[in-house]
Structure 1
Amino acid sequence: MKDVIKMMESSMSPEAVRRAHIKAEQDIMAIRLAQLREEKNIKQSEMANFTQSSVSKIEKRKDMKISTLIDYLDSLGMGLEIITYPKVAVSKKQGKVLLKV
């Protein structure tokens, strides 16, 4: 599978590869949000402070406000930590916590 991805990336510009990685990460985040809720055995209709339809929209959304993400995770009894790090760094140990709620 990795060879196929590398082959596809070799025919793309570096900027197109970067955009594709960003889009993939956004899709993965939407899937992970639903997985987190399901792991807690919470139905969409049981989420505190959200209607079932709004939970469905959040879990399909590829881009959202950080405040919405914080509220969603809070309803699951979870927190959020955002860490910044230099993209050119060899190690992410150089990262700094930007937000922890």
Structure 2
Amino acid sequence: MKQKGFTLIEMLIVLMIISILILITIPNVTKHNSVINNKGCEALVKMVQAQAKAYEMEKGTIPTIQELIDQKYIKSNKCPNGNTLQIDSSGEVSENDA
């Protein structure tokens, strides 16, 4: 009676190939994740800038980030990459490194 199946060597070779593929893909995924977070923060800065202009047009004053949050113009001042946003005295929104 001859049983069919994989030998230990064949299984080890398959596991080695899978391990190599995982080692190749993980750095690429983390690199792309960082790029995505930075692009998300750029988009958030532009959106908050537009909301600050809308607030300024309605209320006649340049808002602070907290005023925008309190008045429900924005939900948060946190970027996807962990940085916070700030508004300077001229009304320009920028990213504040954490």
Whether these two folds match at TM > 0.5 is no
| Structure ranking higher on relative contact order (CA contacts 8 Å, 6+ apart) | 2
After TM superposition, the score normalised by the length of structure 1 is 0.33
Structure with higher Rg: it is 2
